[in-house]
Structure 1
């Protein structure tokens, strides 16, 4: 159900985002306690502001009311993905080369299922991450298909 609602919401919000030159990062439909939340994460180069989030929220709310794809009561939230923005597509990986990332895998590579380090390259469907293992710098090449979850990671230097 959640995937179907996310897809229907994407179909409704994408024309709005195209019109406003904004990017869809993610859509999550989930239950927290007794309440359902439809969360739409948007972005653009330089980040989005509260006015843009509000504008998308108003326009999307109208379209959701017309299409009525969700039977239960829910809260609509439109926001920036924040500093730990998820990396969902190969294009995201290409765009954020040089950034610090966290990657969780479906299955281990070199005995590890999680890596945090610098995304140094993305080509031929694989991400190369430079990470620190004790005192040594190492690199790992991770096929995109093996990535369960990835996001930008905050560093405290």
Structure 2
């Protein structure tokens, strides 16, 4: 089954790829690899903000991470000229969690992105990753994730 078909079966419509907010590009392609800049947690009409361990729980953080994964796939789709089926695999994610110093469940938060990518892409969604704490993230967002993807 194609990626586009699988996303449709899951009821997922990828958002439009966002433009960069500063002096950088949204993605860089080198050979068959696409390096996607950090994508922040969003919802229709705005950002998903909050600090894990303060005003946000793990489930809400995981949902924020899933939104980052959708935004990452939107950037990959843009890098592929609109054809998401050119995606071969997710190689690596680096997840940043806006969290208090005593919050220890950053991996569980980033699982929101990892679990979604495996659900949507199967084995092609399995990836290496890091999940780290951040004292603050841009615009007060809860989660930011960057990724490396292989395309054809």
TM-score, normalization by structure 2: 0.30
Which gives a bigger RCO, structure 1 or 2 (Cα 8 Å, sep 6+)? 2
Report which of the two has the higher share of strand. 1
